[in-house]
Structure 1
Amino acid sequence: MKTMKEKDIPALVQAVVDIGCDIHAIGRWGYVFGDGDLTPAQQRAIAPQLRWIAETYGERDHLMDEIIAYLGRSDAMSRLSRRQVSTDGGGRIRLVSKT
């Protein structure tokens, strides 16, 4: 599998946003992309696009810290809906606010 390069982070984020998904850092723990607001039919419709993103950008676990930092920058956030997410004590992700 292809390995993503740090220079590709902005394009990855934009590709996720362009298909209608949100992408969010969760503190320093990680990041998530997708949208819990999508219906099952909408989720099925974007599945091929998410696979394309995974295939195009490749393995990115080694860039976790860099992706989280990029998502925290104001220029990246200006393109994204401003949601804050948090984890509860059990590691589940929950929406804190949406502005």
Structure 2
Amino acid sequence: MRKEQIPDFIEEIIATGCPITAVGHDIYVFAEIDAPEEDVDRIGAEVQAICDRYGARDHLQLEIVAHLRSLGRFYDLKAETLH
């Protein structure tokens, strides 16, 4: 994957119904498990196909997280521990 492909990658993942989310400022997760049970297998297969098509992305982890955060798709651990 190239840096300029990040917005398209994330848009395609979201379109599957997979709630991709940044956690803090340095990781992100695919949360197919949070999808309706009847959609989990379909979503998992679609997400895998997208990931295979875009290729390796570990080198872009921080950029992917930053883009997710810019979309408001993040879970901030520090804010949760204050409650």
- TM-score of the superposed pair, with normalisation by structure 1: 0.67
- CA–CA separation in structure 1 for the residues paired with 2:62 and 2:35: 27
- Alignment-mate amino acid for residue 54 of structure 1: C
5+ residue gaps, structure 1: 88-95
Distance 1:51 1:62, change over 3 A: same
Distance 1:60 1:12, change over 3 A: same
Contact 2:33 2:40 in 1 (8 A): no
* Greater relative contact order, per chain length (Cα 8 Å cut-off, separation 6+): 2
Identity of paired residues, percent? Answer: 32
Distance 1:17 1:25, change over 3 A: same
Please tell me the root mean square deviation across aligned C-alpha atoms, in Å.
Answer: 2.1
Equivalent residue for 1:13, pick from 5, 10, 13: 10
Q: Answer 1 or 2: which has greater helix percent.
A: 2
What is the CA deviation profile of residues 1-60 of structure 1, one whole-angstrom value per residue up to 9, with x for unaligned ones?
A: xxx000000001100110111111111230012243324431112222112111111110
Aligned length: 79
- TM-score of the superposed pair, with normalisation by structure 2: 0.78
Residues 1-99 of structure 1: pairs in structure 2 closer than 5 A: 4-73=1-70, 76-77=71-72, 84=75, 86=77
